């Protein structure tokens, strides 16, 4: 009954979003897939060339380097961020003095955008490294660990919030029962608490995973891919460049195939990130059914 009368109003309710969604997502997405098979400078004079762009993308040493660099970064940051965030969340749920203040402070960096964060930390790292006559853009090791420290600083507070929500949902009587049965603090943590916050752990793991792969702003602002390494073959590789930045750099390259190759890389990147994202949805949904 209610449906029939509502149905007529679709131009008002759905119209604006559908129009914007087509402009902002559907059309660019379809066009993006088509253009990844084309050679083009301007979209108007794109001409199809088959899989040439994909072959070029896979042969591009800077792209494969960016892929492995991104993977390494993602694994290291995922472990560090989640372990530290869980530890902080666990400490903050122990009924200690000042936990509200601590929570406020730890979450604060999330409000500051990636570009600004990158510049703040590049100043700090350069301030430290200049004492040793070097700088963050001089060595890829500095760039890597610098980015890890920056992202830990930003993301621990975020993941902490999710872990706190999970920890607070652990039934009090279960902890009580463990205590009465004589379980030690460590036993309670590993046998009761952690199994109960598994959903939070899943969410945070996947969030760190997709965030890591998609990272762009912080990467651009902190090192912008520096330092550059010139390989024996003559190709230059930006050693701290991650996938998203690599696509951006490729697009701004002046060669005739640059736009097409960048778009092909973007499609590969999309398949990668979407694969991780869909795995997350499937995984969390399965968890939800079990509960």
Partner 1 sequence: MNGSLTKERRNKMILSVILGIVCVIYVLPVLAVLINSFKLNTFVKTDTFALPTGEMWAGIDNFVKGMTFGNYPFWNSVKYSVVITVLSTALILVGTSMAAWYIARVNSIFCKALYFLCVFSMVVPFQMVMFTLSNTADRLKLNTPWTIPVVYLGFGAGLAIFMFVGFVKSIPLEIEEAAAIDGCGPVRTFFTVVVPMLKPTMISVGILEIMWVWNDYLLPYLVLDLEKYRTITIHIQYLKGSYGTVDLGATMALILLAIIPVIIFYLACQKHIIKGVAAGAVKG
Range 171-210, binding partner 1 (CB under 8 A): 203, 207, 210
Token pair 């980015």 is found at 147
In the complex, minimum distance from the CB of residue 247 to partner 1, in angstroms, rounded to a whole number: 5
Tokens of 196: 């109960």
In the complex, minimum distance from the CB of residue 174 to partner 1, in angstroms, rounded to a whole number: 20
Query: Using CB under 8 A, which of 59, 104, 134, 189 touches partner 1?
Result: 104
In the complex, minimum distance from the CB of residue 175 to partner 1, in angstroms, rounded to a whole number: 14
5 binds partner 1 (CB under 8 A): yes
> What span, in angstroms and rounded, lies between the C-alpha atoms of 54 and 31?
16
> What span, in angstroms and rounded, lies between the C-alpha atoms of 43 and 31?
9
| Closer CB to partner 1, 234 or 254, in the complex | 254
Question: What b/e readout covers 162-177, taking b as 16+ CB neighbours within 10 angstroms?
Answer: bbbebbeebeeeeeee
Cα-based torsion angle of the residue sequence 98, 104, 108, 110 in order, rounded to the nearest 10 degrees: 120
Tokens of 166: 């999970």
Question: Are 175 and 192 a contacting pair, CB within 8 Å?
Answer: yes
Please give the residues from 218 up to 277 whose contact with partner 1 meets the rule CB under 8 A. 220-221, 224, 244, 247-248, 251, 259, 262-263, 266-267, 269-270, 273-274, 276-277
56 binds partner 1 (CB under 8 A): no
- Number of chain positions touching partner 1 (CB under 8 A): 94
283 binds partner 1 (CB under 8 A): no
95 binds partner 1 (CB under 8 A): yes
> What span, in angstroms and rounded, lies between the C-alpha atoms of 117 and 151?
9
Please give the residues from 14 up to 33 whose contact with partner 1 meets the rule CB under 8 A. 14, 16-18, 20-29, 31-32
Query: Using CB under 8 A, which of 127, 141, 171, 236 touches partner 1?
Result: 127
In the complex, minimum distance from the CB of residue 73 to partner 1, in angstroms, rounded to a whole number: 16
> What span, in angstroms and rounded, lies between the C-alpha atoms of 201 and 204?
5
């Amino acid at each position: 009954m209610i449906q029939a009368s509502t149905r007529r109003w679709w131009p008002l309710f759905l119209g604006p979003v559908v129009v914007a969604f087509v402009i902002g997502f559907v059309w660019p997405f379809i066009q993006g897939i088509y253009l990844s098979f084309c050679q083009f400078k301007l979209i108007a004079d794109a001409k199809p060339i088959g899989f040439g762009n994909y072959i070029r993308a896979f042969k591009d040493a800077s792209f494969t380097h960016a892929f492995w660099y991104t993977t390494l970064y993602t694994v290291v940051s995922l472990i560090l961020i989640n372990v530290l965030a869980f530890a902080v969340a666990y400490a903050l749920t122990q009924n200690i003095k000042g936990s509200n203040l601590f929570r406020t402070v730890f979450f604060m960096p999330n409000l500051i955008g990636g570009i600004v964060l990158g510049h703040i930390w590049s100043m700090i790292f350069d301030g430290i490294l200049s004492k040793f006559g070097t700088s963050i853009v001089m060595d890829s090791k500095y760039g890597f660990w610098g980015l890890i420290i920056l992202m830990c600083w930003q993301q621990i507070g975020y993941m902490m919030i999710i872990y706190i929500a999970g920890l607070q949902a652990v039934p009090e009587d279960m902890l009580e029962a463990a205590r009465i049965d004589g379980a030690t603090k460590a036993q309670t943590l590993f046998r009761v608490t952690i199994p109960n916050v598994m959903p939070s752990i899943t969410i945070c793991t996947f969030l760190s995973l997709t965030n890591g792969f998609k990272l762009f702003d912080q990467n651009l602002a902190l090192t912008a891919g520096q330092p550059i390494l010139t390989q024996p073959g003559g190709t230059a590789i930006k050693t701290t460049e991650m996938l998203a930045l690599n696509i951006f750099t490729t697009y701004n390259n002046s060669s005739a195939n640059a736009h097409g190759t960048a778009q092909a890389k973007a499609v590969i990147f999309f398949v990668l990130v979407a694969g991780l994202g869909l795995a997350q949805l499937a995984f969390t949904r399965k968890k939800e059914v079990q509960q």
